[in-house]
A = this chain, B = another copy of it.
Amino acid sequence: MSTTLNIQAEIIPNISVDCVIFGFDKNSKSLNVLLIERFLKLEDSEVPAVNDYVLRGFHTFENETIDDTANRVLKELTGLEHLYKKQFKVFGDPNRLKNEKDIIWAENEHFNRRTITIAYYVLLPTDAFQLENNPYKPKWFPVNQLPELGFDHQKIINEAYADLKEKVLHKPIVFELLADKFTIKELQDTFEAILGVEIDNRNFRRKLITKKYIIALDEKQTGVSKKPSQLYMFSKDVYQKIYKESYLINI
């Protein structure tokens, strides 16, 4: 690893961070996951030994917090900082890297077979950054149509998605998947894409616009060939004030 990358600090060889980056594409109304290619061609072979996709991750440095590792990985991959991220689970099974390709890959990269990885998921709109000219050649895939994945990354994504589905019902995190200014319809599309359900637009609309933390702006959509819709923003401050002592037991 240190042979291929010039790094400024010592890595902790058995601890890494992996990031499940969820992006919502409001045009295709699709919840996507950002993956990078894992490609390895050994000298003695025509066909690649490894050719699939994985999440982007990296080892933690000796002098770094886990959150900082995640921030670093995210910055390198997307160019963005201050992204919404949730550390949701550790994957530390001694047999995480079990299939043949993983073993070939791990040997080639000389990395510790007993690495425990701390997994985060991240929420952003897919258009928050550009994929072109990105050295990692990342690609968006709809969360329900993922390609073949290396390591235990399918499992990690599954668990991230389950956590997201659950959390989105109670916490105001949908907004992280949209631009600062959004329409009610986009918000509904986002919920529908995450939860895989259909929601009545009229009831949804009413429910949302009556919330005090959903604030109508003096602005409408432009560049649409239909009735342009009202833009709204989400006020985190107002939300937190209201929900500071809300404890509706809902079991």
Contact = CB atoms under 8 A, between A and B. Distances in A.
A92 B66 contact: yes
A197 interface: yes
Interface of A: 12, 14-15, 60, 62-66, 87, 89-90, 92-94, 114, 116, 118, 166, 168-172, 174, 191, 195, 197, 199, 207, 211, 247-251
A250 B65 contact: no
Contact of A114 (B12, B197, B207, B248): B12
Where chain A touches its partner, the secondary structure class is loop
A216 to B, nearest CB: 17
Contact of A15 (B15, B66, B93, B171): B15
A172 B174 CA distance: 24
23 contacts: A14-B14, A14-B15, A15-B15, A60-B116, A62-B114, A63-B94, A64-B94, A65-B93, A66-B90, A66-B116, A87-B90, A90-B90, A166-B170, A168-B249, A168-B251, A169-B170, A169-B248, A169-B251, A170-B251, A174-B251, A191-B249, A195-B247, A199-B249
